[in-house]
Amino acid sequence: MDKRSATTIASVLSEALPYLQRLNNKTIVIKFGGNAMTDDALKNSFARDIVLLKQVGVNPVVVHGGGPQIGKLLEQIGKESKFIDGMRVTDSETMDVVEMVLGGLVNKSIVSLINHNGGQAVGLTGKDGSMIRAKKMKITRESPEAQAPEIIDLGHVGEVTTIDPSIVNALDEGNFIPVIAPIGVGEDAASYNINADLVAGKMASVLGAEKLLLLTNTPGILDKEENILTGLDGKKVSELIKDGTIAGGMLPKVNCALDAVHSGVKTSHIIDGRVEHAVLLELLTDEGVGTLISS
């Protein structure tokens, strides 16, 4: 390494000092979107960033999605994927695949990448320690033809009723990094497929996290002309939902980001997980890399 690049590294580290001081001992919930984790090199650098955070005294809690990975396995077994309002319709057979892919393949691949980079990750689903209690999500749709709103059955799609943070706190104290798959358990012991953004948002609230980072596959929230909206509050978000600018998978994401800031999380950020070191850029530099959601 020449002297100039060594000096650059030293000054970059030095510039991070105030951020590190502010984030010391703070919990950051990071949602790693299934769509942001399709590139192996990026996945590895994400894992390395998480290890670095833990090393410098921040408590990262990872919640992951896995939509594309679930879709791929369903396709391999010849089962069609169907979505309503950005949510996967989940019959019992699909739920088995969701549990296998999210709780198995995807969860363990993140755990092992973190561990490979020198961290100590522990993978969990919401069933472990009965951490995430869930109930069936009920959605309705109104149409001009129908007299009453139509109830739409999404099968095993759930919403969070409660999160018990004790297992996550215990892992943090033991210096482990929790990696959570968004599967909840119902009162009837049934499994529920929960949108990972919902779990990450509630987890951030329950843990009293400093920040919620939602990594996805867009530069942030985009307007109709595809320009990035760098800062939004509740009022602006409702307008963008109303006029259809925010749709699909961005809907649950932005709602969770808002819920989190309304329940004590300082800031939520929707950031581009396809940018290398997106997490470090957002947390340790002035370079915000996405949309900041505040109350």
Ligand X SMILES: Nc1ncnc2c1ncn2[C@@H]1O[C@H](COP(=O)(O)OP(=O)(O)OP(=O)(O)O)[C@@H](O)[C@H]1O
Residues forming contacts to ligand X in the complex (CB under 6 A) are 33-36, 65-67, 86, 196-197, 216-218, 221-222, 245-250, 253
Q: Which of 123, 93, 111, 85 is nearest to 191 (CA)?
A: 93
Type of residue at 231: G
- Using an 8 Å Cβ cutoff, are 289 and 280 in contact? no
Number of Cα atoms under 13 Å in the Cβ half of residue 288: 14
Q: Which of 249, 260, 284, 293 binds Mg ion (CB under 5 A)?
A: 249
* 250-262 helix and 234-242 helix, angle to the nearest 10 degrees: 160
Residue 63, H or E segment? strand 59-64
In whole angstroms, the minimum distance from the beta carbon of 271 to Mg ion comes to: 14
35 vs 191, which CB is nearer to ligand X? 35
Q: Which does residue 193 touch among ligand X, Mg ion, none (CB within 5 to 8 A, set by kind)?
A: none
Q: Which does residue 60 touch among Mg ion, ligand X, none (CB within 5 to 8 A, set by kind)?
A: none
For residues 155 and 91, give the distance between their C-alpha atoms in angstroms, rounded to a whole number. Answer: 5
In whole angstroms, the minimum distance from the beta carbon of 136 to ligand X comes to: 19
23 vs 203, which CB is nearer to ligand X? 203
119 vs 290, which CB is nearer to ligand X? 290
In whole angstroms, the minimum distance from the beta carbon of 46 to Mg ion comes to: 16
Of the candidate spans 120-128, 203-211, 246-254, 255-263, the one that interacts with Mg ion by CB under 5 A turns out to be: 246-254
DSSP-derived pairing of the beta strands 87-88 and 121-125: unpaired
86 vs 129, which CB is nearer to ligand X? 86
- Plot region of 255 (φ>0 → left; ψ -120 to 50 → alpha; else → beta): alpha
Question: Which residues contact Mg ion by CB under 5 A?
Answer: 249
